[in-house]
Amino acid sequence: VRRAVAQERRRFTRDLHDLVGHRLTVLVLKTELLQRLAESGDPKAAGAVAELLDLVRGLAGDVREVAHGGARLCLEDELSAARALLESVGVRCTIAVSCRDESGGVSQALTYVLREAITNVLRHAAARECGITLADRDRLVELSVWNDGVRHARATDCGAGLDNLAERVAELGGWATFDDAGPGRFTVTVHIPRVNS
């Protein structure tokens, strides 16, 4: 019983971080933008307020989903949202998808991985460009997210995000790599076995 309670507590903590942490990062970025717009008297401030309200409502929904046993996320929707979010803060985003649709646990894990990788781009890098690749690799699905940003000094502590990401992938028999390939490039890559390969 203790083991089951501990496992459920870890799942809850991980889900809360992965869902809520992403939206909180976006909320901070949008609030900072709104502050700059309001201070300069920019008429775009009203639109930024509407976006902020949508984010807060989404955050409240995420908390409800975690509290009731977890969220069901859509990888295709998350890819579109990632592009829109990155481009809204001035990061050019390219996406290349060359694999068949996944369902169930693999798709959910890939969606969480994508969300965490994009959160890292927003929080820990001054990126100008980000690339997302989703591809078949024999009996594996590979998701790779890279950015050209210079990592902030505060990024030396990865926190729970990348650990959670690696744990989710390992639960499905996959693995994750985090490559800090010299100055100005960081890549998150995961490989997950196909369910019906």
More confident residue, 41 or 153: 41
Name the pLDDT band for 155 (thresholds 50, 70, 90): very low
> Which of 71, 94, 124 is the C-terminal boundary of a domain?
71
pLDDT single digits (tens) 159-196: 677 888 898 899 899 999 998 876 778 899 999 998 76
Considering the domain architecture, whether residues 86 and 182 belong to the same structural domain is answered as yes
Domain range for residue 34? 1-71
Residue 129 has pLDDT above 50, yes or no: yes
**Coil/strand/helix, residue 174:** coil
pLDDT of residue 131: 96
* Cα 154-117-29 angle, rounded to 5 deg: 60
What digits encode the pLDDT tens for the residues 1-47? Answer: 788 777 777 777 777 777 677 777 777 777 777 777 777 888 777 77
Mean pLDDT within 93-117? 87
Indicate whether 134 pLDDT > 90.
yes
Q: Structurally, how many domains does the chain consist of?
A: 2
- Whether 64 and 78 map to the same domain: the answer is no
Q: What is the dihedral of CA 114, 54, 158, 86, to 10 degrees?
A: 60
Tell me the two tokens of residue 74.
């859509």
pLDDT at 154 (0 to 100): 42
Bigger pLDDT: 120 or 97?
A: 97
47 and 141 in a single domain? The answer is: no
